[in-house]
């Protein structure tokens, strides 16, 4: 897992092709620093746990920034 703050090339480039989400509120706050529109694959790691822990708003905030024709894995 790589923290977005330690990847400056994500801030100015086209953005990631794949995004793996783990339960964290911080990632939802960092999404404005990178372009997620080109992200083709989304992996929601422990999606059931994230939703049970109340991370739905943060997860939606991230998912809404990713292209609608993405492939999503849980």
- pLDDT reported for residue 68: 92
User: In the chain, what are the domain boundaries?
Assistant: 18-72
- pLDDT reported for residue 63: 86
Digitized pLDDT (tens) for each residue of the chain, 74 residues in all: 445 555 554 454 566 666 666 656 566 566 566 677 888 888 887 888 888 988 888 888 888 888 899 998 88
Strands 18-21 and 71-73: unpaired
- pLDDT reported for residue 1: 43
The residues, any chain, with a CB within 8 Å of residue 17's CB and separated by 6 or more, are 38, 39, 40, 41
User: What's the CA angle centered on 54, arms 66 and 25, to 5 degrees?
Assistant: 55
Q: Which two tokens stand for residue 64?
A: 């809404």
To the question of pTM greater than 0.75 for the whole model, the response is no
Residue 30: C-alpha distances to residues 26, 65, 71 (Å) = 6, 12, 22
């Amino acid at each position: 897992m790589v923290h977005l703050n330690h990847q400056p090339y994500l801030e100015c480039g086209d953005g990631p092709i794949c995004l793996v989400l783990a339960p964290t509120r911080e990632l939802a706050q960092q999404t404005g620093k990178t372009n997620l529109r080109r992200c083709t694959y989304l992996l929601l790691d422990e999606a059931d746990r994230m939703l049970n822990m109340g991370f739905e708003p943060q997860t939606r905030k991230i998912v809404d920034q990713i292209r609608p024709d993405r492939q999503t894995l849980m």
